[in-house]
Structure 1
Amino acid sequence: MEDEQRWVQQVLAGDKQAYAHIINKYKNQLYATILRMTKNPQDAQDLVQDAFIKVYRNLDKYDRSGSFAGWLYRVSINHCMDEFRKKRFATVQVEIDDEMSVNPNHPELVFLKKEKSRQLERLIATLPEDERLIILLRYVNDMSYDEIGELMEVPLSTVRNKLHRAKKKMRDTVKREGGYFHELSNGG
Structure 2
Amino acid sequence: MEEEQFWIQQVLAGDKQAYAYIINKYKNQLYATIFRMTKNPQDAQDLVQEAFIKIYRNLDKYDASGSFSGWLYRVAINHCMDEFRKKRYSLTQIEVDEEKVVNPNHPEIVFLKKEKSRQLERLVSTLPEDERLIILLRYVNEISYEEIGELMDIPLSTVRNKLHRAKKKMRETVKREGGYFYELSNGG
The bucket for the TM-score relative to the shorter chain is over 0.9
Give per-residue Cα distances to partners, 1:15-69, cap 9 Å, x unaligned: 1111110000000000000000000011000000000000011111001000000
Partner of 1:172: 172
Question: Unaligned 5+ residue runs, structure 2?
Answer: 97-101
Q: Does 2:70 correspond to 1:70?
A: yes
Aligned sequence identity (%): 86
Q: CA deviation at 1:108?
A: 1.3
| Distance in 1, Cα, partners of 2:43 & 2:94 | 12
Question: What value does the CA root-mean-square deviation take over the aligned residues?
Answer: 1.5
Q: CA deviation at 1:3?
A: 1.1
SS at structure 1 position matched to 2:14: coil
Question: Unaligned 5+ residue runs, structure 1?
Answer: 97-101
Partner of 2:99: none
| Distance in 1, Cα, partners of 2:40 & 2:137 | 18
Partner of 1:124: 124
SS at structure 1 position matched to 2:179: coil
Q: CA deviation at 1:89?
A: 3.0
Q: Which amino acid aligns with 2:79?
A: H
Matches for 1:149-168 after TM superposition, within 5 Å: 149-168=149-168
Worse overlay, 145-154 or 39-48: 145-154
Q: Is the 8 A contact 1:62 1:71 kept in 2?
A: yes
Q: Is the 8 A contact 1:95 1:118 kept in 2?
A: no
Matches for 1:29-68 after TM superposition, within 5 Å: 29-68=29-68
Give per-residue Cα distances to partners, 1:137-158, cap 9 Å, x unaligned: 0000011111111111111101
| Distance in 1, Cα, partners of 2:104 & 2:144 | 35
| Distance in 2, Cα, partners of 1:184 & 1:149 | 25
Partner of 1:99: none
| Distance in 2, Cα, partners of 1:127 & 1:63 | 33
Partner of 1:110: 110
Give per-residue Cα distances to partners, 1:101-160, cap 9 Å, x unaligned: x98533211111100000000000000000000000000001111111111111110110
| Distance in 1, Cα, partners of 2:94 & 2:30 | 17
Q: Is the 8 A contact 1:145 1:160 kept in 2?
A: yes
Are the structure 2 counterparts of residues 28 and 95 from structure 1 closer, same or farther at C-alpha, using a change threshold of 3 Å?
farther
Q: Which amino acid aligns with 2:77?
A: I
Q: Which amino acid aligns with 1:124?
A: V
| Distance in 1, Cα, partners of 2:52 & 2:144 | 23
TM-score where L is the length of structure 2? 0.93
| Distance in 1, Cα, partners of 2:24 & 2:164 | 33
Q: Which amino acid aligns with 1:173?
A: T
| Distance in 1, Cα, partners of 2:119 & 2:95 | 10
Q: Does 2:7 correspond to 1:15?
A: no
Partner of 2:143: 143
Are the structure 2 counterparts of residues 93 and 120 from structure 1 closer, same or farther at C-alpha, using a change threshold of 3 Å?
farther
| Distance in 1, Cα, partners of 2:14 & 2:124 | 42
Q: Is the 8 A contact 1:40 1:90 kept in 2?
A: no
